[in-house]
Chains A and B, each alone.
Chain A
């Protein structure tokens, strides 16, 4: 599935984390112009527009997505409780809305629901890369069709990395995206988990995860780099 459009750029951290943890592909845009400039070849997968800090920018993005020949669906709008009046006469600009701050579980349920109402397949339930296969529905990971015994954090880390092949992440980014909160180990924890993950992938496949010196880690190769 194509990535979701997320406004604003950068995306609010709790939103970024929630989307990452549930395995959604997404891309943040900052302006109305970006909606077209950054649009993927196959079009946006859907949109999440957060209006609580920049309502006029947010509604401009909504219009750019909806006031066109083929309006984008679904579009989930996030606004603060004090902005509810802004919704008057704008029902055509969104499919559903939620109040900020949002509850991650409600957010996910609502996102699934707007996709369902739009008659859209929600997302890939399987991440595949070479010998590796992750079933996001059942949380099971396989290498060469053999199940991997992973702890929860190992699974989440592998899922995050393998969903972004070829991309280099710093320890700090991995910590905030995968762990997403204060943790006893800090950024060093990432090293510990990478090491374990490699040991569980086994010698043959340990090099799926590469150390990028003085930067961080990457997984496999980008689909586009050939």
Chain B
């Protein structure tokens, strides 16, 4: 949530009401440590611990630090930035010890002159949401986050062993899973993140947490918190949780299907009860925007080399730029809702995976959809039947494009995209391409176990 810029006038040195609330709660609850959270460009969690005594001052002036120490932030010569804690995100940490209460706040990063810092993904999303807001739209998301639990030996380079194959002496794997589930749920609820938790039937090792609808900024914050909580709870039981998109051969990968909707003055802008699909013109153009620009935004929504193993795995991940109401091979699905539940009309984007930076991913998804709305894109026909069974030629004749097959292809697409450049800003656009290309090149130079196994004996 970002509501802290509501101080009565700019430059007001007194703490705002929200800040007073935070300061008073710190005092009343005896908080010993405040953790200030933000993310680097790749969406990795960064945290600075602050003594409560410094809090009032940090509210007034921000916390100055060297941005060049954070990946994708600033170059050395212009390195100092300010972290401004968002008082509306203040929460007591449910896992802190009773005798040492701790709290968290998300931060916005600013330049020393107070302008938004271009390398801060949270500021990027705020800018995109403000632009939509100015046109009367509020962007809401609800992600389904998948992940795996493995034996903790993977952290030391061991092979990933799913929990149901690992040996646990006293507990059955179901006990372990149910313990993890209970603790994780409890912590997320305590952090104002209402969830529905499911776990996959094809083995206790892959789990899914569905978050309930909230505005996109809050939702991205929640995903950051969720990833941290899931890993932390698992680690305490000697288990490694991973959001890596495709950790195992022959088993479906982890996605983060994201349900999206736009509200215009509190009314669902995608809904039209009179339409055979229940979709408004805005809804259709938004989907068309996602399909037209889907290839350009994939590097952001699927940012690891490993992400492309999932997209091409033949399981539930989509491969083609199509939409459907009830076809799980499509990139965009429009879930069917009950009559009279128009406010539940939404579109589900199925390519995105949980390794992404949610601030940037939601920024480009919104930008792609909004471009469709602005330009009034027409929506292609709904995809029927299983697209996986068609030949390339048949798909070509039908005008169906594929998602990028590798990170290199996705980066080439992104590099040509004015839409992505505008959405994430020059600073992040350029850094991201440089950083991801460097990783790709490093990967590409490797001689893989596959090659050794196949070629060494017989060539």
Contact = CB atoms under 8 A, between A and B. Distances in A.
B349 interface: no
B14 interface: yes
Contact of A188 (B6, B28, B138, B217): B138
B8 A147 contact: no
B79 interface: no
A139 B140 contact: no
B313 interface: no
Interface string A78-103: 00000000000000000000000001
A171 interface: yes
Interface string A185-197: 1111101100110
Given A140-B28, A199-B189, A179 B218 contact: no
Contact of A192 (B21, B25, B214): B214
B89 A185 contact: no
Given A151-B88, A152-B87, A153-B3, A184 B18 contact: no
Interface residues of B, number: 43
B192 A188 contact: no
Interface in B2-16: 2-3, 6, 8-9, 14
Interface string A155-196: 100000000000000011000000101111111110110011
Given A138-B28, A184-B133, A186-B263, A151 B194 contact: no
B339 to A, nearest CB: 15
Please classify the interface of chain A as helix (H, G, I), strand (E, B), loop, or mixed, using the class held by over half of its residues: helix
B28 A184 contact: no
A154 interface: yes
Contacts, number: 93
A139 B28 contact: yes
Interface of B: 1-3, 6, 8-9, 14, 17-18, 20-22, 24-25, 28-29, 87-92, 94, 129-130, 133, 138-140, 189-190, 192, 194, 212-218, 263, 265-266
Given A182-B133, A185-B1, A196-B194, 10 more contacts: A138-B24, A139-B24, A139-B28, A147-B29, A149-B91, A151-B88, A153-B88, A185-B218, A191-B213, A195-B212
Given A152-B87, A184-B215, A171 B266 contact: yes
Contacts of B17: 21, 152
Contact of B215 (A105, A171, A181, A185): A185
Given A139-B24, A192-B214, A185 B138 contact: yes
Contacts of A182: 133
Nearest to B21: A152
Given A140-B25, A151-B88, A192-B215, A186 B266 contact: yes
A63 interface: no
Closest 5 CB pairs of A and B: A187-B266, A185-B215, A186-B138, A149-B92, A152-B21
